Amino acid sequence: MVELKNSRNTAPLIFIFNFLLLTFCFAQEGGVPGALLNYGMSPRTIALGKAFTGLADDQEAVYYNPAGLTQLLTQTVKASYLSLYGSQLGYVGYALPTRKLGSFALSAIYFTSRDIDSRDQFMGSYNSFNFTQTCFIFSYAFQPVKPVGLGTNLKLMTSKVAQYGALGIGSDIGIFLFPRGILSLGIVCQNILGPKLTHYERTDEIPVTFRGGVALKLYQERLTIVVDVVKSVLEYTSIEPHVGIEFVPVFPILTLRGGFDKNFLNIGVGIKRIEDKFTAGIDYSVELHHASSYLLEYRHKIGIFVDFGGFRTWIDATPKQFSPTPGRKDNVTWLDVHYNTKRDIKRWQLLIKNQYGEVVRTYSGWDAPPLRLTWDGLDDIGRVVTDGKYYYEIVIIDEVGETISCSDFLTSIVTLGPEGEIEFLPQDY
């Protein structure tokens, strides 16, 4: 705490600022400044117990490990909101992967607490005031060699306590290993050189924090286990463990999550819809404060995301319904193949499946796939398939083993009989 001045105008504000820092930073040990930068922004990462350093596979990698941006294949917009014990915490971010220049991202974090009671050193009452913090994060990541990703953040942080404002700049450096493997690792050094925030005569420097994380993906990546350890350079802080699990019972629509850290037990759910040209989803999480023996009220967080453009593949079929006729090569459905990859394509495979998920026709090849294919309604051994709906799954693998894929409805088959009239004659019995 700083020494209080005699002025009745400045003393209450300085007192309240110190008090506010201690109470706002409940998410860290011993009132460490900078909880805004070490808490967790989206329902997904909160539900995972804020363990994301070794996974970092969506836009929120900028918050935990910017090197994870090298995994992104599509442009992504992500936003979330949390009501935080009378305060509000919001997040919005955008990420852009490129073919040759690496990945870029821009994020904004906003925290506000209003109508805070103020007191002087004699506990006399003053007018209430507001506290606001905002942080803008500019991120860049690239992959110098296949198993390694490097990333950095530049942070611009503003803070306002009543009429006193402050501005600080800091940065992060991260490394990500084995992005396409079953086991991936991440290491980050956060808050290098600050930010430092000075309000009136008090300066608070957000401490350097080290994060290490690992992610293990099992059962064709439908089960993911993540573990993080976090340590501030301040001596009075301890190593904080974070553990989370993510399971996809209905691929790729429904995801269940759970996790815990030193303060919270977390659970969550995610629902998403994959279309040809974009993916959209909504995430939800709830935090239960086990450190207080669940006396503190549980909190809900909701968020949305949209993936679009970038590196992806899909197929358009014309027509969406046809009747195959053996021997007639004109009665087919045309398959227009769309794709955009970071690197040259090594091989590809297209599977056509019936409504039960059974593969009826396979196309594959080396190098890039043709832009147009045809399907005549026959299976791999030349038999006409049964009537019903048919779906596709296309997988494209580039020269370093990175995969893009898509699954969706392809076409319907309805068998039509020959044209003409059938004459019914009366019969004598």
pLDDT in tens, 73-112: 899 999 999 877 678 889 999 999 998 899 999 999 998 8
60, 42 contact by CB (below 8 A): yes
What digits encode the pLDDT tens for the residues 195-226? 888 777 777 788 899 999 999 999 988 999 99
pLDDT class for 177, splitting at 50, 70, 90?
Answer: very high
Which amino acid is present at 45?
T
Is the Cβ–Cβ distance between 41 and 60 less than 8 Å? yes
Distance CA 284, CA 267 (A): 9
Return d(Cα 279, Cα 259) in angstroms, integer: 25
Specify the pLDDT at position 3. Answer: 36
Residues in the chain: 429
Higher pLDDT, 8 or 202: 202
Task: Tell me which of 1.10.443.10, 2.60.40.4070, 3.40.50.1100, 3.40.50.300 is the CATH number of domain 313-413.
Answer: 2.60.40.4070
pTM for the predicted model, two decimal places:
0.78
Question: Please, are residues 56 and 49 in contact by the beta-carbon 8 Å criterion?
Answer: no
What are the domain boundaries of the chain? 11-239, 313-413
Domain 11-239: homologous superfamily in CATH: Outer membrane protein transport protein (OMPP1/FadL/TodX) (2.40.160.60)
